[in-house]
Amino acid sequence: MRDGDVRRAVLSDLSARHSDDRETRIVEEMGVWSGSARIDVAVINGELSGFELKSDRDTLGRLETQAEIYGHVFDRVTLVVGSKHAKKALALIPDWWSVVVASADGNRISLNPEREGSLNPNQRPELIAELLRKEEALDLLACHGLDCGWRSKRVRLIYERLAQCLPFDALKAGVRDALKAREGWLRQSRADQFDVAIDANTDPVLETLRL
């Protein structure tokens, strides 16, 4: 069972699940923490959900670090893991993560729910703000009348202003809306609302950047 097999199975499942929802956007290799890490698949709608994929050919060496990073950003996270690593992986991730076990069934990959997760209790507003590009962040400030005198500021200060001045739910909703509306994602996918993509402002060589 190869990495690409698991990825295709997950994308197919998510696309089928959200096929009638034009408010959902699905993105591959979405950068978090200003692009320093990438979640394999993100689903953006009324929540921001991440899916980290670990096939039997992967290692779990970076999973604990990934869990810490993603745990400050996403509303929900699902680990999709090959059966070879499932038991060990459960000990490396927070209890609020969902777990799905991927196994080969002839020529297809079966995705079997192992654990139902819950909402993330540890999100950090400044790291959620960092999901935005500078112009997106300024637009969000403007929507709340907070942009006067801020267009020339460094982007780090703009993120801090968003995190400090917006109610948390308003910040999260504004970030999700901006991500769903974003143009310029690379490698457009099968349907308008589903994007197999990375940020156009980052290096497109995925294999050198993925965690």
- The tens digit of pLDDT for each residue in 166-182 reads 999 999 999 999 999 99
Per-residue pLDDT for 205 more than 60?
A: no
Output the DSSP codes for 132-152: S-HHHHHHHHHHTT--TTTTT
Per-residue pLDDT for 186 more than 60?
A: no
**How far is residue 29 from each of residues 41, 79, 87, 188, 209, measured CA to CA in Å?**
6, 15, 25, 13, 9
Residue 158: Cβ within 10 Å count: 23
C-alpha gyration radius of the chain: 17
CA-to-CA distance for 127 and 111, rounded, in angstroms? 31
- The tens digit of pLDDT for each residue in 136-168 reads 999 999 999 999 999 999 999 999 999 999 999
* CB 71 within 8 Å of CB 120: yes
Query: Directed axis angle between helix 155-165 and helix 134-143, to 10°?
Result: 30
CA-to-CA distance for 37 and 45, rounded, in angstroms? 21
* CB 39 within 8 Å of CB 32: yes
CA-to-CA distance for 131 and 109, rounded, in angstroms? 32
Domain boundaries, the chain: 3-121+184-205, 125-179
Question: Is 3-121+184-205 a domain of CATH 3.40.50?
Answer: no
In the numeric block, which tokens belong to residue 86? 């499932």
For 15-40, what is the mean pLDDT?
89
Backbone angles phi, psi at 104, to 5 degrees: -80, 130
